[in-house]
Structure 1
Amino acid sequence: MAQSGVSVHPDCITAFNELKLGKDTKWIIYKISDDWKEIVVEETSKQADFGAFREKLLNAKSKNKRGEEGIGGRYAVYDLEYDTAGEGKRSKITFIAWCPDDAPQYPRMMYSSSKEAIKRALNGLAADIQANDADDIEYDSVISRVSKGR
């Protein structure tokens, strides 16, 4: 359980293991449930379409404590394949914590304080990116950070 009291639903680990072992799933988006009690799977995809994945993050909504919907955070895992100069194709399972700077305070606090719980539950992550604005999740930016091992 996270510092925030948010737990990780077992389906999150199952979906991650399917991505990691089966290689059928290309990405997973996780969210904190509307009651702010657990991290759940929001969506998975078998399509390696980074643009569609990025749009899902940019358009994510969360409800505040009063039930009003606004800009929201997400956690995501992407099985990122990329070419390296002289070394050929590489693949890294990349964790992205998406929490836009303009999101309301409560979702930002909850996503920030629950991040370690989901990361600990997902064994086998190769890269970790904290993304706070749209530029942080541009394809070239993500590839640059992942290929440098950050």
Structure 2
Amino acid sequence: MAMAFKMATTGMWVADECKSSFMEMKWKKVHRYIVFKIDEKSKLVTVDKVGAAGEGYSDLTASLPDDDCRYAVFDFDFVTVDNCRKSKIFFIAWAPSASKIRAKMLYATSKDGLRRVLDGIHYEVQATDPTEMGFDIIQDRAK
């Protein structure tokens, strides 16, 4: 059986694949982003989708559902004013208005447990509609 990390506050578990996929993104740069979802039946946070290294931020935003919550991490690469290549990892808590109240509550209470498992996140963005997580916001926060 795969390893899982228990989140004490909600009784949810974070599947080991979440941490291993995150480490592949962070250290090996094989993923540009990862989308996570909660499976209420199994009480597991699992990987919903991974974006290949060549994919961009618009691919991530397009993969988020309009009517359900998700978590996502995005590896933002950029060049500083003094021409240094940098990378910052964003954690996105996606809770669109159209999602069910139960889902919003479950994702809100489970977020910190997942964040603790994903070591190395620089910034967090919470969004209820696409304008709250626009690429301009990501660029501004990373500077």
What's the TM-score, normalizing by structure 2? 0.86
Runs of 4+ in 1 over 2 A off after TM superposition: 82-90
Are residues 22 and 34 of structure 1, via their aligned partners in 2, closer, same or farther at CA, if it must alter by over 3 Å? same
Counterparts of 1:104 and 1:113 in 2: how far apart (Å)? 15
Matches within 5 A, 1:29-108: 29-35=35-41, 37-46=43-52, 47-57=54-64, 59=65, 71-108=67-104
Q: Select between 85-94 and 137-146 the one with higher mean Cα deviation.
A: 85-94
Matched-pair contact (CA < 8 Å) for 2:79–2:86: yes
Matched, 1:23 2:11: no
How many residues end up aligned between the 2 structures?
A: 136
Which secondary structure state, in structure 2, belongs to the residue aligned with residue 26 of structure 1? Answer: strand
Alpha-carbon RMSD across the aligned residues, in angstroms, is 1.7
| AA matched with 1:50 | Y
Counterparts of 1:16 and 1:126 in 2: how far apart (Å)? 13
Counterparts of 1:137 and 1:35 in 2: how far apart (Å)? 29
What's the TM-score, normalizing by structure 1? 0.82
Percent of matched pairs sharing the same residue: 30
Matched, 1:12 2:18: yes
Q: Which 5+ residue runs of structure 1 have no aligned equivalent? A: 61-70
Alignment match, 1:66? none
| AA matched with 1:55 | A
| AA matched with 2:60 | F
